[in-house]
Amino acid sequence: MAVGCPVVLKPAPQTPITALMLARVIQDAGWPAGALNVLPLANEDAAALVADDRLEMLSFTGSANVGWALKEKSGKKRVVLELGGNAAVIVHSDADVNDAATRCAFGGFTYAGQSCISVQRIFVQKDSYRQFTDALVPKVRALKCGDPLDETVDVGPLIRRSDAERIEQWISEAVNGGAKLLCGGKLSPDGRFIEPAVLTNTKPEQRVNCEEIFGPVVTVEPYEEFEDALKLANASRYGLQAGVFTSSPELITRAFDDLEVGGVIVNDVPTFRHDAMPYGGVKDSGLGREGVRYAIEEMTEMKLLVEQASR
């Protein structure tokens, strides 16, 4: 809207209502007819939009597999992709461990973990590991599941029953592979909720670690040296955002230099986001940046005018 780019918005099939409500608000505010077009299509029917040369840019938010496949089909279009993640948090021994546990209980389970920057993998320096888990687990157990319209509810349902069943299967795979379930992980009788879960003694190759779980589950593992934590955080095909809890400027600088992510959040969880900041990832997490100024740069072409002085 700021630069006059008309938009064709294709919402996710599971959640079209908010996009249609937004379009009505914008229309009522006086935005020109046709400048914003909401098309609630099935995914397979939207393929024509990706290939249509009249659309000069594709901006996609969703899974990594779908996003990179769309890029291959987009031809000469400019492309911005905001894709999946399995965000890591590093909690060093010089941090406020109780505060870190409080923030991880928020960052891992808000929206029932259904956010690209939800906390998924937590690495705690071994000297603080027991203190951290002793603080985290009671906070997670205290989270209330239910109707998100109820203001006392902390964790709502999964978007689809199939996702709840998938998450239950991934938890079972991890436990069968030697992981320990510290709390939660049960599928509700109606198949809509997963109890907020904390796993430990997991392996990097298990899907609860190496894939995006997109649900109310976190893994917690100890590390020896800060360098070990950086390597563990980077051992992922994703790289959206990471959180680092430490009071050391030297470690903050090292994390910023070495973490393979689009954003490093210091003394808070990677779930932090502000619309004015450049938001996006590296590796399989995406391409380009969102955020008002940065989106404008992605959506426009730089043009040069040179005027020679009179001779």
* Residue 250 annotated as catalytic: no
pLDDT of 126 above 90: yes
Out of 82, 195, 212, 221, the active site residue is: 82
**CATH code for the structural domain at 7-83+277-299:** 3.40.605.10
Average pLDDT value for the chain: 96
User: Looking at the domain covering 88-266, what would its CATH class be?
Assistant: alpha beta
**265 - beta bridge partners?**
243
pLDDT at position 306 is 96
Task: Give the residue-averaged pLDDT of 240-264.
Answer: 98
pLDDT class of 310 with cuts at 50, 70, 90: confident
For CATH 3.40.605.10, the residue range(s) in the chain are 7-83+277-299
**Ordered DSSP codes for 221-268:** EEESSHHHHHHHHHSSSEESEEEEE-S-HHHHHHHHHH--SSEEEETS
pTM above 0.75, yes or no: yes
- Smallest Cα–Cα separation from 103: which of 285, 280, 275, 266? 266
Whether the pLDDT of residue 247 is over 80: the answer is yes
- Asked whether the predicted pLDDT for residue 311 surpasses 80, the reply is no
Q: Give the DSSP letter string of 10-71.
A: ---TT--HHHHHHHHHHHHTTPPTTSEEE----GGGGHHHHH-TT--EEEEES-HHHHHHHH
Chain segment 66-114, per-residue pLDDT in tens: 999 999 999 999 999 999 999 999 999 999 999 999 999 999 999 999 9
Summarize pLDDT for 15-69 with one digit per residue, the tens.
Answer: 999 999 999 999 999 999 899 999 999 988 988 999 999 999 999 999 999 999 9
Q: Please pick, among 104, 116, 145, 183, the residue that the annotation labels catalytic.
A: 116
Is-catalytic flag, 82? yes
What tokens does 237 get? 């095909």
| Spatial separation of the C-alpha atoms in residues 244 and 52, rounded to whole Å | 43
Strands 217-223 and 238-239: unpaired
The two structure tokens encoding residue 176: 């069968």
Q: Is 225 in contact with 201 (CB distance < 8 Å)? A: no
Residues pairing with 219 in the sheet: 121, 199
Of 46-50, 116-120, 195-199, minimum mean pLDDT range? 46-50
Short-list 38, 85, 61, CA closest to 70: 61
Within the chain, which residue ranges are assigned CATH 3.40.309.10?
Answer: 88-266
